[in-house]
Structure 1
Amino acid sequence: MPRFFFDIHDDEEFTPDREGLDLDGLEAAKAEAKKALPDIVKEEMPVGSRRDFTVDVKDAAGQIVWRVTLSLVVESPSQGSTANT
Protein backbone atom coordinates (compact mmCIF):
# COMPACT_ATOMS: atom_id res chain seq x y z
CA MET A 1 0.00 0.00 0.00
CA PRO A 2 1.50 3.39 -0.95
CA ARG A 3 2.11 6.06 1.68
CA PHE A 4 0.90 9.62 1.15
CA PHE A 5 1.72 12.79 3.06
CA PHE A 6 -0.68 15.69 3.56
CA ASP A 7 1.00 19.09 3.98
CA ILE A 8 -1.45 21.79 5.03
CA HIS A 9 -0.96 25.48 4.39
CA ASP A 10 -2.80 28.75 4.12
CA ASP A 11 -1.78 32.38 3.96
CA GLU A 12 -0.38 32.23 7.49
CA GLU A 13 0.85 28.77 8.42
CA PHE A 14 2.48 25.65 6.98
CA THR A 15 2.08 22.28 8.67
CA PRO A 16 4.09 19.46 7.11
CA ASP A 17 2.92 15.87 7.48
CA ARG A 18 5.88 13.87 8.71
CA GLU A 19 4.01 10.58 9.30
CA GLY A 20 1.73 10.09 6.31
CA LEU A 21 -0.99 7.54 5.72
CA ASP A 22 -0.99 4.21 3.92
CA LEU A 23 -3.84 4.35 1.40
CA ASP A 24 -5.09 2.28 -1.52
CA GLY A 25 -3.90 4.72 -4.19
CA LEU A 26 -4.20 8.17 -5.73
CA GLU A 27 -7.99 8.38 -5.59
CA ALA A 28 -8.03 7.40 -1.92
CA ALA A 29 -5.42 10.08 -1.23
CA LYS A 30 -7.50 12.72 -3.01
CA ALA A 31 -10.60 11.67 -1.04
CA GLU A 32 -8.66 11.93 2.23
CA ALA A 33 -7.50 15.47 1.40
CA LYS A 34 -11.02 16.55 0.46
CA LYS A 35 -12.39 15.05 3.67
CA ALA A 36 -9.86 16.87 5.87
CA LEU A 37 -10.33 20.41 4.52
CA PRO A 38 -13.80 21.19 5.94
CA ASP A 39 -12.62 20.20 9.43
CA ILE A 40 -9.59 22.47 9.09
CA VAL A 41 -11.74 25.39 7.94
CA LYS A 42 -14.12 24.95 10.89
CA GLU A 43 -11.22 25.55 13.27
CA GLU A 44 -9.86 28.65 11.54
CA MET A 45 -11.49 31.94 10.72
CA PRO A 46 -10.09 34.18 8.03
CA VAL A 47 -8.04 37.21 8.88
CA GLY A 48 -9.86 39.73 6.74
CA SER A 49 -12.50 38.57 4.31
CA ARG A 50 -10.87 35.57 2.62
CA ARG A 51 -8.60 32.68 3.48
CA ASP A 52 -7.51 29.79 1.25
CA PHE A 53 -6.69 26.43 2.83
CA THR A 54 -4.62 24.00 0.77
CA VAL A 55 -3.60 20.39 1.22
CA ASP A 56 -0.67 19.24 -0.89
CA VAL A 57 -0.76 15.47 -1.19
CA LYS A 58 2.72 14.03 -1.71
CA ASP A 59 3.80 10.53 -2.56
CA ALA A 60 6.66 8.71 -0.81
CA ALA A 61 9.14 10.35 -3.20
CA GLY A 62 7.98 13.82 -2.12
CA GLN A 63 6.22 14.64 -5.39
CA ILE A 64 2.92 16.53 -5.17
CA VAL A 65 0.28 14.27 -6.70
CA TRP A 66 -2.78 16.34 -5.71
CA ARG A 67 -3.39 19.88 -4.54
CA VAL A 68 -6.78 20.49 -2.96
CA THR A 69 -7.82 24.04 -1.97
CA LEU A 70 -10.88 25.28 -0.14
CA SER A 71 -11.58 29.01 0.13
CA LEU A 72 -13.45 30.59 3.01
CA VAL A 73 -14.95 33.98 2.21
CA VAL A 74 -16.63 36.13 4.85
CA GLU A 75 -18.62 39.10 3.63
CA SER A 76 -21.42 41.37 4.66
CA PRO A 77 -24.36 41.36 2.23
CA SER A 78 -24.63 45.13 2.63
CA GLN A 79 -21.02 45.61 1.46
CA GLY A 80 -21.21 43.44 -1.64
CA SER A 81 -18.90 40.64 -2.65
CA THR A 82 -15.28 40.71 -1.53
CA ALA A 83 -14.32 37.40 -3.15
CA ASN A 84 -12.27 39.14 -5.83
CA THR A 85 -10.37 41.50 -3.58
Structure 2
Amino acid sequence: MPRYYFDVHDRQGVHRDEVGLDFPDMDAAILEARRALADMTRESLVIDGATDLGILIRDGDEAPVNLAVTMTTERLDE
Protein backbone atom coordinates (compact mmCIF):
# COMPACT_ATOMS: atom_id res chain seq x y z
CA MET A 1 0.00 0.00 0.00
CA PRO A 2 1.49 3.38 -0.95
CA ARG A 3 2.55 5.85 1.71
CA TYR A 4 1.52 9.50 1.44
CA TYR A 5 2.91 12.47 3.35
CA PHE A 6 0.79 15.46 4.34
CA ASP A 7 2.83 18.64 4.73
CA VAL A 8 0.81 21.28 6.58
CA HIS A 9 1.14 24.94 5.66
CA ASP A 10 -0.10 27.62 8.03
CA ARG A 11 0.83 31.12 9.19
CA GLN A 12 3.86 29.74 11.05
CA GLY A 13 5.27 28.09 7.94
CA VAL A 14 5.58 24.55 6.61
CA HIS A 15 5.33 21.54 8.90
CA ARG A 16 6.80 18.63 6.98
CA ASP A 17 5.28 15.21 7.57
CA GLU A 18 8.14 12.79 8.21
CA VAL A 19 5.95 9.79 9.09
CA GLY A 20 3.22 9.58 6.45
CA LEU A 21 0.16 7.36 6.25
CA ASP A 22 -0.68 4.37 4.09
CA PHE A 23 -3.65 4.62 1.72
CA PRO A 24 -4.75 2.38 -1.13
CA ASP A 25 -4.46 5.22 -3.65
CA MET A 26 -4.27 8.99 -4.14
CA ASP A 27 -8.06 9.35 -4.04
CA ALA A 28 -8.12 7.93 -0.51
CA ALA A 29 -5.25 10.23 0.51
CA ILE A 30 -7.14 13.25 -0.91
CA LEU A 31 -10.25 12.31 1.05
CA GLU A 32 -8.23 12.10 4.27
CA ALA A 33 -6.52 15.43 3.53
CA ARG A 34 -9.94 17.07 3.10
CA ARG A 35 -11.13 15.63 6.40
CA ALA A 36 -7.97 16.71 8.20
CA LEU A 37 -8.15 20.21 6.72
CA ALA A 38 -11.79 20.58 7.79
CA ASP A 39 -10.86 19.58 11.34
CA MET A 40 -7.83 21.88 11.38
CA THR A 41 -9.88 24.79 10.06
CA ARG A 42 -12.61 24.33 12.66
CA GLU A 43 -10.06 24.15 15.46
CA SER A 44 -7.96 27.09 14.31
CA LEU A 45 -10.94 29.38 13.80
CA VAL A 46 -12.06 28.74 17.37
CA ILE A 47 -8.60 29.08 18.91
CA ASP A 48 -6.92 31.94 17.07
CA GLY A 49 -8.90 32.86 13.97
CA ALA A 50 -6.28 31.46 11.59
CA THR A 51 -7.71 31.31 8.12
CA ASP A 52 -4.99 30.25 5.71
CA LEU A 53 -4.31 26.55 5.95
CA GLY A 54 -3.18 23.98 3.44
CA ILE A 55 -2.04 20.41 3.08
CA LEU A 56 0.38 19.38 0.36
CA ILE A 57 0.33 15.68 -0.40
CA ARG A 58 3.55 13.92 -1.39
CA ASP A 59 3.81 10.29 -2.39
CA GLY A 60 6.20 7.71 -1.02
CA ASP A 61 8.71 8.34 -3.78
CA GLU A 62 9.24 11.86 -2.42
CA ALA A 63 7.95 13.17 -5.73
CA PRO A 64 7.08 16.83 -5.98
CA VAL A 65 3.73 17.81 -4.56
CA ASN A 66 0.97 15.76 -6.07
CA LEU A 67 -1.92 17.81 -4.73
CA ALA A 68 -2.64 20.82 -2.58
CA VAL A 69 -5.81 21.06 -0.48
CA THR A 70 -6.25 24.58 0.89
CA MET A 71 -8.73 26.64 2.85
CA THR A 72 -8.73 30.43 2.88
CA THR A 73 -11.32 32.67 4.43
CA GLU A 74 -11.51 36.42 4.39
CA ARG A 75 -13.85 39.08 5.65
CA LEU A 76 -15.54 41.02 2.91
CA ASP A 77 -16.53 43.96 5.10
CA GLU A 78 -12.99 45.13 5.88
Same fold at TM > 0.5: yes
- TM-score of the aligned structures, taking structure 1 as reference length: 0.75
Map 1:59-74; keep pairs closer than 5 Å. 59-63=59-63, 64-73=65-74
Alignment: residue pair count = 73
Map 1:2-81; keep pairs closer than 5 Å. 2-44=2-44, 45-46=49-50, 51-63=51-63, 64-73=65-74, 75=75, 81=76
Which one-letter code corresponds to 2:19 in the other structure? E
Deviations 1:18-77 (A, max 9, x none): 11001010101111111100111122222xxxx32110000012221111001133x3xx
Q: Aligned-residue CA RMSD in angstroms?
A: 1.7
Q: Is the contact made by 1:7 and 1:14 (CA closer than 8 Å) also made in structure 2?
A: yes
Shift in Å at residue 8 of structure 1? 0.3
Q: Is the contact made by 1:41 and 1:72 (CA closer than 8 Å) also made in structure 2?
A: no
Unaligned runs of 5+ in 1: 76-80
Percent identity reads 32
DSSP-derived class of the 1:32 partner: helix
Distance across 1 between alignment mates of 2:16 and 2:71: 18
- TM-score of the aligned structures, taking structure 2 as reference length: 0.81
Q: Which has the larger radius of gyration?
A: 1
